[in-house]
Each structure stands twice: as structure tokens, then as C-alpha cells.
Homo-oligomer: A and B are copies of this chain.
Amino acid sequence: MSSTQLSRKEQIDQVATSLFKSRGFAATTMRDLALELGIEAGSLYSHIKSKEDILQRVCFKMADEFNAAFDEVKTKDVPAAEKLRLAVAAHVRVLTKNPPAAGVFLNEWRHLSEPSLSKFHDMRFQYEESLREIVREGIASGEFKVTDEKFVVLTLLSSLNWLHMWYKPEGKMSPDEIAEFLSNLLLNGLKNF
């Protein structure tokens, strides 16, 4: 069924990702990971550099995906409310496309060591700042009735970023339906505050 053949390294990353998500990075051992792949722990090192090496790839790949999805939205010339709706949809799409990776991205990044950790922080700040910018636009234009754009973005991301905890691809709601539901709920809150 799966279309493209994964390289051994990609397989390792994928299996590691779901283990990192379900058990946590620190609580996942290389021997666990090897067992899941049906090989010995030492054999992993023919393909990867280190345990954190995997974590880095997962975290920054997800960061790239969030940025790419968001960059498309940024360029659109639409009212702030609509732009925010698109941003929410983009965020949900990335989040639901690969829930294990999303979970690692959201919960395990703190196990990155410097300088990756700082780089990650920066990227995250940039992303959030872009969202705040949209909300500021909406406040200025009178579309949103709130005043504290920081708080709004925090709440927005909070409700989105828990998604990976319960979302199941086989569930009855599609990512687009989820995105629409969340947009409605949150944007109506902003407009009628």
C-alpha cells in the first residue's frame, strides 16, 4: 500500500518517532528501538550518528513543514480573520498528517542539546510571532474584539497542539473537518468576545 520504499535510515527514524512519542525520548532505549526493527542495537549505528541525531531530524523536519504550510498562507491578501482561518487549517493539516512526529515535535524537543535547542527555540518564536502579527492585524481592523494578541495566540496554539494526543487517522472526522470546527469555535470566540 505504501507508495515509496523507505531507506533503512528512514525506517529507523519512523519507528523511533513513534517510540519517542509513546514512551518519551529519555525512556526509549536504543535496544528497544532495535528490537522493534528486528535487529541488534549496535547495527543501528551503521545508519545513524546518535540517538539525538534522530530527534534532531524529526524536530526540524516538522518545523520545516509548519513553516512551509504557513508561508503559503502569509502571502494571501485576505482579511485577518480569513488569514487566521487558513493558518489554523494549515497547522491542523501538518499536525494530523503525521501525529507521532507531531507529538515528538511538541513534547520531546526539550531533549535537544545546544546549539540545536536554541535554533529550535528561535524557529518556534518566529512562527508564533507570525501568528501574533495576524491577530494584531485583526485587532487593528476591528475584526477581533480582543486586546491581548499574545494571550490569544497562546490559547489558539494550546487548543491546536493537543490535537495529536487524541487524533486518529481512522476517526470519523477528517483533518479538514477538524480544522473547520476549530476555526469556527475559536474565531467566533474572537469576533464576539
Contact = CB atoms under 8 A, between A and B. Distances in A.
Nearest to A154: B166
Interface string A152-193: 101101111111011000000100000001101111111111
A158 to B, nearest CB: 3
Contact of A155 (B23, B26, B148, B159): B159
A107 interface: yes
Given A185-B190, A193-B185, A193-B188, A162 B158 contact: yes
Nearest to A111: B27
Contact of A186 (B157, B184, B189): B189
Contacts of A27: 26, 111
Copy number in this complex? Answer: 2
A45 interface: no
A61 interface: no
A107 B157 CA distance: 17
A155 B185 CA distance: 9
A110 interface: yes
Contacts of A154: 162, 166
A127 interface: no
Interface of A: 23-24, 26-27, 107, 110-111, 146, 148, 151-152, 154-155, 157-163, 165-166, 173, 181-182, 184-193
7 contacts: A26-B26, A107-B107, A146-B185, A157-B162, A158-B160, A159-B159, A186-B189
